[in-house]
Chain A
């Protein structure tokens, strides 16, 4: 079996007369690359013949920094990985440390964490819908629609944690502080607003024939190929496989939640399906948050009361898998005693999804390559670590 699929290079023009390939550089500073990402395309006319992605422009040495900081200090770096969903990244990080140190988390804190993680997911998916709409050509309209709800979510984060994008709200053993007094009321109001926002974007984009025609049948992907390339998250689910770590290997209180993994019989993993999958998932996240608000204990501790001043962890290793907003957010953690991790490795979903870009864009038009990149929903902070 060959690793790389046979390249579908021959264009009609090439079959008849000789052409000269041209090299186009896109990025690192380019609005369509969603951050500092560079790709060098070799094109034959309008058709992409080869693509070489270049990453690392945002490399900050997350893993080295984590090794050199106390378990609690290092957390501030981790919400800067997927900076659209800081709460979710923190959640994965503290889960890794808790697994190493065998620390219990109060039940109320688990519910709060899930609420925050799901709000982050909605937040991140809103950014995708807005930015992707802009990639395809709705200009600023989808962006502005998405920003309305994102602002409200960030306002709530600010009220809860004191910061909007990088809340540093989770703690090893719980969360930093209890929810503000009127949180439940505000959160329920916010969910109504979010649902309205999703419907607006749904109408604006899914209801637009040009948008749908542009995205359908573009870069379809089979489930087997997606698995082989290490693709996870909404992109894997858009190929028709109902696999979500929140159901497959449940953590926190997800095993008590009732939610569905969106599915349609005609899913084929193309750009439209990826868009549709994220849109549909947001409704499910709203359902999860509502159940958390209904079921969570109304009082009690939100932080384990038996924590030492300095966290010292025994020898051990763990690989925590977390359903991040982009896919499997894995944290490999190793401790050799002491107050610092010996090794902490981030398996970042954007990194792995982006590694499949080359295969997806070969054979497509240059203009479509931009849309395919947009449909991967990468966050460069997470790709480059």
Chain B
């Protein structure tokens, strides 16, 4: 079995590229208000939910960026300030990777769904929706994924106690004011 063939199929810039270049390219998009900063591993773009689709359009369609792969969607409960959504994108064509942060309010904030741009967003968004209570506008199938179908709790919120299952079964009492 020959398994060590060499081919030209490796993406041209598959190695991680300098972050400074990427930050400049992202700023060049213009017209969208954003804050660019750095995390330990990636460039971070902070942007309002209303501008998310326009930004993703630009990131996906500009040939010098060409972000074609949605790695991950992750909610973060930043209460009492609000909540955040973190999107991680990667480009197989240019080798760039970045993070988008979308701050939202608490409760059930509306965020546009990225399923139109990245079909991979489907399950990621369903998971974020049930775990945090986000509402993804335009999602084709917004049902619970990991939790029970008719269970409308959001376990990854900081206000949700660790032992909620025991509370539900009546074995333990939850924190004051907690109901399911």
Contact = CB atoms under 8 A, between A and B. Distances in A.
Interface in A332-349: 332, 334, 342-343, 345, 347
Interface of A: 3-4, 55-56, 59, 61, 63-65, 67-68, 99-100, 202, 206, 227-230, 240-243, 247-249, 260-265, 279-281, 283-284, 316-321, 328, 330, 332, 334, 342-343, 345, 347, 351-352, 355, 384-385
Contact of B4 (A56, A61, A228, A260): A260
A345 B4 CA distance: 35
A385 B97 CA distance: 25
Given A202-B1, A263-B7, 7 more contacts: A55-B146, A262-B4, A281-B3, A316-B40, A317-B86, A319-B88, A343-B74
B118 interface: yes
A29 B6 CA distance: 43
Contacts of B71: 230, 319, 321, 328, 330, 347
Contact of A229 (B42, B95, B120): B120
A243 B1 contact: no
B82 interface: no
A385 B147 CA distance: 11
B173 to A, nearest CB: 18
A265 B72 CA distance: 31
Interface stretch (B10-18, B22-30, B46-54): B10-18
Interface of B: 1-7, 9-11, 14-16, 39-42, 44, 68-72, 74, 76-77, 86, 88, 92, 95, 97, 99, 115-116, 118-120, 122-124, 131, 140, 144-148, 155-156, 160, 162
Contacts of B140: 3-4
Contact of B118 (A55, A230, A242, A264): A230
A242 B156 contact: no
14 contacts: A4-B140, A65-B162, A99-B40, A99-B41, A260-B3, A260-B4, A262-B3, A318-B40, A319-B86, A328-B71, A330-B71, A330-B72, A345-B74, A355-B120
Contacts of B120: 228-230, 352, 355
B92 A243 contact: yes
B147 A56 contact: yes
Contact of A230 (B2, B40, B70, B99): B70
Contact of A248 (B2, B95, B119, B124): B95
Contacts of A334: 76
A1 to B, nearest CB: 8
B99 A228 contact: no
A318 B39 contact: yes
Given A227-B69, A264-B5, A319-B72, A4 B14 contact: no
Given A64-B155, A64-B156, A229-B119, A320 B41 contact: yes
Contacts of A343: 74, 76-77
A319 B39 contact: yes
B178 to A, nearest CB: 15
Nearest to B162: A68
A68 B163 CA distance: 11
Contacts of A227: 68-69, 92
